[in-house]
Amino acid sequence: MDRLSALDASFLYGETPESPMHVAGLAIFDPPPADANVFVAFRDHLKSRLHLVPFFERKLALAPIQLDHPVWVHDNNLDLEYHFRHVSLPKPGTREQLETLVARLHMILLDRSRPLWQYYVIEGVEGGGFAIYIKMHHAGIDGGAGMAALPIIFATSPDPEPVQLPSPTTRDSRPPELFQLIRDSYDKFFTQQREFYQSWTDIGKAIAKVGQRVTEDLANPPRMLPIAPKTLFNASLSGPAIICNLHHLAS
């Protein structure tokens, strides 16, 4: 049983339809051979490597009545039809059409009853290429870990080295028993209370330092910074999303 940290769980608690908490990436590839089935080839390639990144094979199990943060459990019934999606752009498949599609896909929240990731193979890109849109929840993987996983998932040559398949043993995906979750939650609660009371001395020193800093700032108030103008990047969040790549920002 691997319980989420407070930081990781905060990405679940703070998620709303207007502010999804998944991280994502878009990769655009050169045209494949004429007889290639891009979706099937990529799905089979990734399926053989899922076990190399534990995040892809685990899902959330909630604590009873939210006594504590959720835990990760192994998913023995991974539904690849949900996690691997195949879509095509309408002709001519311009970059603007690709960005519009990705923006719409990015607005869709991940299903928390399943492992928190999806791959979209997007064909019909102008020029004969294709794209792969990757969506993974920040509660399970951050940007740095996601970048570290890319060399494991993607190959750097047309003929990648074969990977060792996992053992055929089946891990138990059932959530921990209710008694175990309650016991662990109460143990953690009392530990936090004990540590809190033991830290009163340090808390008092920190409050004194803050008070001293506030007094100094009031005696020498800083120059007020001008209010930034309202732009696309500091407006209130809404449901619709806009995807803009560096190419278009530069132009």
Predicted local confidence at residue 248, as pLDDT: 43
Residue 20 lies inside a defined structural domain of this protein:
yes
Using one digit for the tens of pLDDT, what is the confidence trace for 8-55? 999 999 999 888 999 998 989 889 888 889 999 889 888 888 888 889
Structural domain count, the chain: 2
Same domain, 163 and 191: no
Q: Given this model, what pLDDT does residue 250 score?
A: 38
Asked whether residue 12 falls in the same domain as residue 107, the answer is yes
Catalytic residue status for 86: no
pLDDT at 81 over 60: yes
Strand-pairing partners, residue 137, are 22
CATH number of residue 63's parent domain: 3.30.559.10
Predicted pLDDT at 40 = 92
Q: Is residue 142 part of a domain?
A: yes
Q: What is the pLDDT of residues 51-71, one digit of tens each?
A: 888 899 999 988 777 777 888
Contact in structure between 148 and 87 (CB atoms under 8 Å): no
Over residues 172-191, the mean pLDDT reads: 66
Residues 93, 168 within the same domain = yes
The answer to whether residue 88 is domain-embedded is: yes
Residues 95 and 168 in one domain: yes
Question: Do 172 and 207 lie in a common domain?
Answer: no
Are both 123 and 211 inside the same structural domain? no
pLDDT at 84 over 80: yes
Considering the domain architecture, whether residues 107 and 55 belong to the same structural domain is answered as yes
Mean pLDDT, residues 186-215 taken together: 78
- Catalytic one of 69, 86, 138, 247: 138
Domain that holds residue 195: 184-219
Q: Can you give the pLDDT at residue 52? A: 86
Instruction: Say if residue 118 is in the same domain as residue 196.
Output: no
| Closest by Cα among 187, 228, 37, 20 to 107 | 20
pLDDT for 96: 92
Q: Given pLDDT bands bounded at 50, 70 and 90, which one contains residue 249? A: very low
> Measured in whole angstroms, how far is the alpha carbon of residue 22 from the centre of its chain?
4
How many other CB atoms are found less than 10 A from the CB of residue 40? 12
Are residue 166 and residue 199 in the same domain, yes or no?
Answer: no
Q: Which strand (E) or helix (H) includes residue 74?
A: strand 71-74
* pLDDT at res. 172: 54
Q: How confident is the model at residue 114 (pLDDT cuts 50, 70, 90)?
A: very high
pTM (global) more than 0.85: no
